Structure 1
Amino acid sequence: MVKISVIGCGYLGAVHAACMAELGHEVVGVDVVEHQVELLSEGRAPFFEPGLPELLTSALGTGRLRFTTDPAQAAGATVHFVCVGTPQRKGEMAADLTYVDAAVDSLLPLLAPGDVVVGKSTVPVGTAERLAQRVHGAQPGAVLVWNPEFLREGKAVADTLHPDRLVYGVPDGEQGQHAVARLDEVYAATIADGTPRLVGDVASAQLVKVAANSFLATKISFINAMAELCEASGADVTFLADAIGMDDRIGRRFLNAGLGFGGGCLPKDIRAFMARAGELGVDQALTFLREVDAINMRRRVRMVDLAREELGGSIQGRRIAVLGASFKPDSDDVRDSPALSVSAQLALQGADVVVTDPEAIANAQRKWPDLRFAADVEDTLRGAELVLVLTEWPEYVSLDPVEVAGLVRDRRVLDGRNCLDAEKWRAAGWTYRALGRR
């Protein structure tokens, strides 16, 4: 058993703390938001993540997990995980490191010789080196390392307990060897399960997460660029993706054309990556990411244009039902959500928009209080002249087009995620269109 502190109990930290306790460690989670700490202490997640409430309840029941707003409670832990957010700076592309700096500063008076401070937040390369100097200045016997996270919202618990790889970024010498040994203790069960472990330098470890996200974003935007060409030429992007995805050098995953990516990671990470490259004088190396970002944003505009086309050139006063507000299924996260962005654009241009989502309505209302929301699919569809499927929740993918036909005014559906069975909907008398499809 290792005594662990987790500084920052938002999405990353809450999941990490619960999972570390599940692995048998003694964990204290520290966060400055009192309401969040109260919820977590009661076994209630402040956000929707499948499996997390059950895990919290189980871990709290063992006595190995507790949450507090008092940073001093992290004293006595020998491994300290920094799990705070790194949002995009307002008005800039760069990452805001305010919370990372504050988290490390809160640990400095508590550190003892041999302690390991482990960064998990996604930061620009060079951040760890700067923070390591502060740690060394406060406690020369402590060491700072980087251990990036690779969580997918909706699958975060499984991704923490059974990751596809562990990455350690450690300094050279005895302190680095000590840090590797401590992390191996923390992840002993994971390593025993056969999870690959890569040990490298601190700079490389900081680059891993942003490089991975940039690659995934590029792959998504590539197929969406192909969707633009398919629409112009009469080709079908799904057939194209299936065909090129059979090449094992390319693969089929992340080649689903549609509204593109959103959420709290990919958009801000690729922008921060570009900003950091500029600071390092190698901005030309990542100029392609500007087009990746631009393609992604164009898909939202294209969906609004398709809605206008389907409604005969005008959306003013027309009733549009939107299924989905979160940026992806199995999440209540609406940060940079394509679904919510399209809904807001339609409403701002005069459409009568009604939005529903299984989990994200509360967050969506806070983001766009002027939008109209409905609690269920039936109320959303009732009287609609056009239906938009913008988040591929299973309950929307499995809708029976025959059953819901009686609720709408006109049988028109726009599939923003290429997730519906086109032939099934057409056979039920619906006009079906999707991004990049014939």
Structure 2
Amino acid sequence: MSLKISVVGTGYLGVTHAACMAELGFEVIGVDVDPAKIKALSAGKLPFHEPGLDRLLEKHVESGRLRFTTDYDEVASWADVHFIGVGTPQRADGHGADMRFVDASVTELATRIRGKALIVGKSTVPVGTARRLESIIGTHAHPDAQISLAWNPEFLREGFAVKDTMSPDRLVIGCTDAHSEETLRVIYAQALEANTPLIVTDFETAELVKVAANAFLATKISFINSFAEVTETIGGDITVLADALGYDARIGRKFLNAGVGFGGGCLPKDIRALQARTSELGLTHTMGFLAEVDEINLRRRERVVRLAQTMLKDQLAGAQIAVLGVTFKPDSDDVRDSPALDIAVRLFNAGAEVSVYDPKGNTNAAARFPRLNYAPDLAAAVQNADLVLLLTEWDEFKTLLPADLEPLVGARKIIDGRNVLNRSRWEAAGWELVGMGQHYTPLDGQL
């Protein structure tokens, strides 16, 4: 079966999927309503940072296997399979997911397709969306069209998106007909030959898998951060506690790192959208615990600000503060709902002079909050700093030694927001280092 593939939406998910489908040997076309984005992608220019994806994009644009357009008529008449990879951001008027872009994409395709085609949803959506989209397709489809629908959620981790697409840890297909399953088995033949687990299920289960996974991960992060609040108050070692928990095979060590909390374009909006959707279904209390998960997460940001204030003896106004890292995680330029950027802004609003350096995130952060000082490198960021905050665990920061900063800073004070520095080494060098989950007693007479 020689399939031609379209990918609707050329954001993070869409471009990754399109480039990886081309790498698998398919002819692929990406479609978006943004002409500037299409022009850049057609030139092989990736508009965001994702390791390895830039080379893949350039490779297949040059080969001709991957191209981009704004023309839905071209896409509908050319492709056999249409993947929907548009965004589902949080609505401006509440916590629910904004479904306008998904609905518009499916409607645009349904009105134009002639003959047999498969539409495959990859976007993260509220449960019940696929059934609703079937009605939209039924309303708008041409009499000559035979359009099937399937749901195939994505499980991409920023920084590992190419690997997660090419070698996924599982594949989930929600569908109602054998043709859809057969078609997707052809598309994912390489992964299936590598014994990737495949779950074929109904629409509702397929829609719930991604939000359930994100809700679980968010809960696990907030769980350990709730215990960090305890150890910050009474004492104890949160990292050793997490290690001890991690040896329990029922729990595992991953996502048990106390820190400044989670962020990005998925976990925060997905747990809020899940609460909103279950409330719409009349299950008002079912996901109520996620509200506390969200609240614990947001409290970590305030904890860092209060800690900075204490370390600076309540003198935030006018203090020189260096912030290392503003992306929500390393190996990404994504600053959406970033706890690091939020902390930097809170410190600025409290009157501090905040100098920021991130290996990839300065440009995006500056677009969201231009009033911070964005330094070109680490040395410039920490120059004469009264306090250094390590808020994103880039390798460049994890490998820092006291001697790297001592000739530059104004005071040897550092908050390790990700618990990645060797505390004993820094304290032996005369630094006041405070990590997350650590009971803090202010020291006097620090440099």
The two structures share one fold, judged by TM-score above 0.5: yes
Deviation at 1:90, TM superposition (A): 0.7
Equivalent positions of 1:266-285 (< 5 A) are 266-285=267-286
Indicate the SS of the match to 1:169. strand
CA distance in 2, matches of 1:403, 1:102: 52
**1:6 aligned to 2:11?**
no
**Post-superposition offset of 1:426:** 1.5
Q: Find the aligned partners of 1:111 and 1:204 in 2 and give their Cα distance.
A: 27
Structure 2 SS opposite 1:432: strand
- Residues 1:82 and 2:84 aligned together: yes
Deviation at 1:135, TM superposition (A): 1.7
Deviations 1:55-94 (A, max 9, x none): 0111122221101111112122111000000000013000
| Structure 1: gaps (5+ residues) | none
Deviates more, 1:57-66 or 1:200-209: 57-66
Q: Output aligned runs, 1:45-194, within 5 Å.
A: 45-74=46-75, 75-137=77-139, 138-139=141-142, 141-171=146-176, 176-194=177-195
- The CA distance in 2 between the partners of 1:250 and 1:25, in whole Å, is 40
Name whichever of 423-432 and 263-272 sits farther off: 423-432
Equivalent pairs: percent with the same residue? 53
Tell whether the 8 Å contact from 1:322 to 1:390 is kept in structure 2 after alignment: yes
After the TM superposition, which of the residue ranges 36-45 and 144-153 deviates more from structure 2?
Answer: 36-45
Return the alpha-carbon distance in structure 2 between the equivalents of residues 14 and 389 of structure 1. 31
Q: Kindly provide the amino acid, as one letter, of the partner of residue 92 in structure 2.
A: K
Q: Distance in 1 between matches of 2:229 and 2:353?
A: 27
Cα offset for 1:341? 0.2
SS in 2 for 1:80: strand
SS at match of 1:153: coil
* Cα-Cα RMSD: 1.0
Instruction: Assess if the C-alpha contact under 8 Å between 1:3 and 1:77 holds in 2.
Output: yes
* Counterparts of residues 424-435 of structure 1 (less than 5 Å): 424-435=425-436
- Cα contact 1:136–1:143 (8 A) shared by 2: no
Work out the CA distance in 1 between the residues paired with 2:191 and 2:112: 28
C-alpha displacement at 1:415, in angstroms? 0.5
Question: C-alpha distance in 1, partners of 2:132/2:436?
Answer: 45
CA deviation after TM superposition for structure 1 residue 255, in Å: 0.2
Aligned amino acid, residue 319 of structure 1: Q
Which digits, 9 at most, give the CA deviation of each residue in 1:80-119, with x for residues without a partner? 0000000000130000001101111110123234311000
- What is the DSSP-based 3-state SS (H/G/I as helix, E as strand, rest coil) of the residue aligned with 2:146? coil
CA offset at residue 251 of structure 1?
0.2
**Deviates most, 348-357 or 70-79:** 70-79
Tell me which residue corresponds to 1:358.
359
Q: Deviations over 1:379-423 (max 9, x none)?
A: 001100100000001001111211211100100000011111112
Matched with 1:401 is: 402
Pair 1:372 & 2:377 matched: no
- The separation in 2 between residues aligned to 1:70 and 1:221, in whole angstroms, is 44
Structure 1 residue 136: Cα displacement? 3.1
Check whether the contact 1:168–1:198 (CA below 8 A) recurs between aligned residues: yes
**Is 1:289 aligned with 2:290?**
yes
Aligned residue for 1:285, secondary structure, equals: coil
Query: Structure 1 stretch 402-411 or stretch 219-228: which is displaced more?
Result: 402-411
Could you state the TM-score of these two structures normalised by the residue count of structure 1? 0.98
Identify the residue that residue 39 of structure 1 maps to in structure 2: 40
- Aligned ranges for residues 224-239 of structure 1 at < 5 Å? 224-239=225-240
Structure 2 CA distance for aligned equivalents of residues 232 and 411 of structure 1: 24
The DSSP-based 3-state class of the residue aligned with 2:286 is helix
Q: TM-score, normalised by structure 2?
A: 0.96
Q: CA deviation at 1:161?
A: 0.6
| 1:128-164 residue CA offsets vs partner (Å, 9 max, x unmatched) | 1110122234156211110000001111111111110
Pairwise CA distance, 1:216: 0.2
Q: For residues 214-237 of structure 1, what are the alpha-carbon distances to aligned partners after superposition, in whole Å with 9 as ceiling and x for unaligned?
A: 000000000000000111111111
Deviation of 1:437 after TM superposition, in Å, equals 2.2
Asked if the contact 1:28/1:73 (under 8 Å) is kept, the reply is no
1:424 is displaced (CA, Å) by 1.8
Moved more, 81-90 or 426-435: 426-435
Runs of 4+ in 1 over 4 A off after TM superposition: none
Count of residue correspondences? 434
Which whole-Å CA distance do the structure 1 matches of 2:374 and 2:54 have between them? 26
Aligned-partner residue type, residue 411 of structure 1: R
The more displaced of 212-221 and 74-83 is 74-83
Helix, strand or coil: the match of 1:101?
helix
How far apart, in 2, do the equivalents of 1:191 and 1:59 lie? 23
Q: Partner of 1:20 in structure 2?
A: 21
Residue number in structure 1 paired with 2:443: none
- Per-residue deviation at 1:260? 0.5
SS of the residue corresponding to residue 136 of structure 1 reads helix
Contact residue 365 and residue 371 of structure 1 kept, 8 A? yes
Pairing 1:305-324 to 2, within 5 Å after superposition? 305-324=306-325
